[in-house]
Structure 1
């Protein structure tokens, strides 16, 4: 859609400028790992989460014996190799490395290759990524850092080493350090009158669809009890979207049909441009089990026979709308039902997850806690192409959605922020304490 998109000319500009920069940097490439960084730097330049690459290249990774997390806006050691007593202790703060601040280093070494500096999630991920050395790439590893803990100050040269043999455990802990622990599917009642809904994805694939179906069934049988209780916590940690048909279904199951009607009456009906090409048509035809996709395939076929660049689904006359994130009802307002609603975010929320928030955060009294959301644009419906090497897939959107209410990279700002260590038990305890404190009717 980039070449047809008149709303976001920056994409077309980067497609040309970024390619020129990448071809100039190609002389720095000396193997598959540096080439992968070169591809990544081009793709990340679009600054859109619906453009990304996945690679099967088995790339060696080293760590300095400890993992770093952004905690209270400081780079903090949160776990390390217990067999190495020379390492900085857990809780140590890293103030600078190689003579530069952490903020300067991630700007120079991480953001040109991966992640988005405009989001709180991207900032957290970048700090953790700075202390991993993906060997053979275009970015040099940090050499020496300045540490502090309490009144103690010291400097040390980092000792890079292979990641632990139990790499699955290592990567799961690293994920918690950077993005945070994801929500767990299901409805639980950790305290009488408080419902906790774990909703970590809207993706309908063979693994997640049975879990989403089971969760939906739970919600339909417990919704009245939840709405008449003390509070509802909707845990969206780890949710980076999925199928766009799912959010409204779950919003209605939790809040009732009036929540959906509120958005419809607000005038945020959308139009979607589907890029008509033989390969895009072939992709849509693989989704034939969905009746809507069968209809879209027919329409795209007709557009191709007419040599039309795209087929427009929905309203034929489009207009862009912005500022929905700023037009939320006040979180302090009384809601339409007894329970106070809290949505727990860790910053991963984009795409279909944001579509869910477009409904949920228009319900009066709903509070967003934890972290600012991510952001996206009208580019959606991602498919992938394997590059000629067979080692890497490039994923990109084939549609553009008009009149969503949110403009490009509009982010929902948090009402109450959490900036501590993102272990699951820490975040859950913080959120539950906040909920109980704010809904205590005896105070």
Structure 2
């Protein structure tokens, strides 16, 4: 169940678990966790010692960001404020694979402690009203664009209230997914509550001032407001349906729990239709997944539809992978190898991966023995075209949005190389060349740190670069209006 009304629910729960922890305890725990995260990243992350532009954000923020966050730690007085400060430090690296997340029930997408009765979305380069609570008077109408609040421009407000706290505003996806929170109170003590006075502009009219009053909170209304602003997948993330006479393949998650065995069986059963001349839609909106298996699932889906013989020569080469030679990073591979060897299905299906992992551990041993900070191993090279015919006769429209992240982006690295495939929709999330996450519990036991422990130094797509549909293939309407999206997609065939 999502948390809604309580200003410090997480903090209170943690206090009970810790024996009525005081505000001073939370301050100390915040400083302790920040120092531990800093040291773990300094001692194990490749960007700390790897030269090049991809490491610049990391090195500029590692110490400066710690000082910034520690200066704020004196205000931490609850589980929520502890979680926000940890998120702030992690987000400052501008690396989607560096995260610090709470181990308790966190601030989900519909969490709010105060709101003005409407939501804003990031639309066409501005913050626009996307939802207004029915029955509430004197609110800006849907479509109104925020100009300023008490002298601060909309952009200044976004930087102060959203950047690093709710998302990475250096990315389009970060702006899209954090936009509903712009004028909401999410119990972040560093950004304050609902602003009192704001100016909005409708069309070519002069800006009009609105007094914003906190409105009663209702869980269903808050969720409706967010879902009216940002596309959120439904309860069934994997499915195939017929839309306007052609298959529409839904892949809205790469998670283990999404139901991949049944879905893959459905794909295989519908393969004749998917390969037909009418074409099909592959809907990857909201599709996320950070594990190695997420990428494997994406490639597996492509192989089922196009055949491995056709895709193999179009898969991006793995190229060189650079490893940070530390005992901690070596231990990750030792533990991973043990899990692989204990899984009979993995042993049967992925024996070469096990041998590759053993070779990586041996390379760690050699590098540590020689006191080398880094070592590089060659990955899979590009494969020559096999000459296999393309079994898919029709056009393929791949629909993406800001929720396409992690394994979804790896899948796009392959799909965008296939013939008769067009990428449409909206700009995706970004990812990092620092991949394959280490997860570690921080000393407070209230937060987990995760970070990529190796660098894909030869990846063709740079760090922090999203996929963006070409001009004419970008949907500019309401991304949550499913009927409008489907009608628009139908015009692309």
- TM-score class, shorter-chain normalisation, is 0.7 to 0.9
Deviates more, 1:295-304 or 1:369-378: 295-304
Pairwise CA distance, 1:197 = 0.5
Q: Which runs of 5+ in 2 are unaligned?
A: 1-44, 383-389
Measure the CA separation in 2 of the matches of 1:297 and 1:252.
Answer: 24
Q: By how many angstroms is 1:45 displaced?
A: 1.0
Of 359, 362, 366, the residue aligned with 2:417 is 362
Equivalent of residue 109 in structure 1, options 161, 166, 189: 161
**Number of the residue aligned with 2:14:** none
Deviation for aligned residue 1:39: 1.9
1:67 to 84, 102, 119: 119
Which of 137, 147, 151 pairs up with 1:99? 151
Offset of residue 129 of structure 1: 1.8
In structure 1, the residue matched to 2:269 is 221
Q: CA 1:51 to 1:163, structure 2 compared with 1: closer, same or farther past 3 Å?
A: farther
Partner of 2:282: 234
2:478 corresponding residue in structure 1? 421
Residues in 2 aligned to 1:314 and 1:196: alpha-carbon distance in whole angstroms: 40
CA deviation vs aligned residue, 1:311-333 (integer Å, no higher than 9, x gap) = 97962799xx9xxxxxxxxxxxx
Tell me the residue number matched to 1:49: 96
Query: 44-53 or 374-383, which moves further after superposition?
Result: 374-383
Which consecutive residues of structure 1, in runs of 5 or more, have no partner in the other structure? 322-334
Shift of 1:199: 0.6
1:170-196 alpha-carbon deviations (Å, 9 max, x no partner)? 45435434531227421111122x110
* Greater share of helix: 2
Secondary structure of the residue aligned to 2:456 is strand
8 Å CA contact retained: 2:434, 2:455? yes
Matched-pair contact (CA < 8 Å) for 1:351–1:380: no
Superposed displacement of residue 214, structure 1: 1.7
Distance 1:23 1:40 in 2: 13
Query: In structure 2, do the counterparts of structure 1 residues 359 and 300 end up closer, same or farther at CA, with 3 Å as the change threshold?
Result: closer
TM-score, normalised via structure 1 length: 0.81
Alpha-carbon separation, structure 1, partners of 2:325 and 2:253: 26
**Is residue 2:429 matched to residue 1:384?**
no
Pairing 1:350–2:397 present = no
Aligned residue runs from structure 1 range 72-83, under 5 A: 72-83=124-135
Task: Show the counterpart of 2:302.
Answer: 251
Q: What is the Cα deviation at residue 267 of structure 1?
A: 4.5
Q: Aligned residue for 1:315?
A: 378
Work out the number of aligned pairs and report it: 412
Seen in structure 2, the aligned counterparts of structure 1 residues 162 and 396 have a Cα distance that, compared at 3 Å, is: farther
SS at structure 2 position matched to 1:63: coil
Which is richer in strand? 1
| Candidates 323, 330, 334, aligned match of 1:273 | 323
2:213 aligned residue: 159
Q: Decide whether the 8 Å contact of 1:379 with 1:397 is kept in 2.
A: yes
Which of residues 73, 89, 111 is equivalent to 1:26? 73
- Structure 1 pair 422–433 and aligned structure 2 pair: CA distance change class (3 A): closer
Inter-CA distance 28–231: structure 2 relative to 1 (3 Å threshold): same
Q: Within 2, Cα distance between the matches of 1:172 and 1:258?
A: 45
Q: Distance in 1 between matches of 2:289 and 2:322?
A: 18
- 2:55 is aligned to 9
Q: 2:445, 2:394 → 1: CA distance?
A: 52
- For residues 212-264 of structure 1, the C-alpha deviation after alignment (integer angstroms, 9 at most, x for no partner) is 22221122222232222312111001112342322211111122335422325
- Map of 1:188 onto structure 2: 241
In structure 2, relative to structure 1, the CA distance for the partners of 1:267 and 1:96 (3 Å cut) is same
Q: Which residue of 1 aligns with 2:28?
A: none
Q: Distance in 1 between matches of 2:283 and 2:451?
A: 28
Name the CA distance, whole Å, in 2 between partners of 1:390 and 1:283: 21
**CA positional deviation for 1:341:** 0.9
- Residues 435, 231 of structure 1: alpha-carbon distance in 2 compared, 3 angstrom cutoff: farther
Report if aligned partners of 2:147, 2:207 keep a CA contact under 8 Å in 1: no
User: In angstroms, what is the RMSD of aligned CA positions?
Assistant: 3.3
**Structure 1 residues 99 and 153: alpha-carbon distance in aligned structure 2, compared to 1, 3 A threshold:** same
* Distance of 2:131 and 2:311 partners within structure 1: 44
1:240 and 1:359 map into 2 onto residues whose CA distance is 16
User: What is the alpha-carbon distance in structure 1 between the residues aligned to residue 82 and residue 435 of structure 2?
Assistant: 27
Q: Which residue of 2 aligns with 1:332?
A: none
Secondary structure of residue in 2 paired with 1:402: coil
- Residue correspondence of structure 1 range 318-333 to structure 2 within 5 A: none
The CA distance in 2 between the partners of 1:375 and 1:228, in whole Å, is: 33
> Compared with structure 1, are the counterparts of its residues 226 and 140 closer, same or farther at alpha carbon in structure 2 (3 Å cutoff)?
same
- Secondary structure of 2:410's partner? helix
Offset of 1:132 from its aligned partner? 1.8
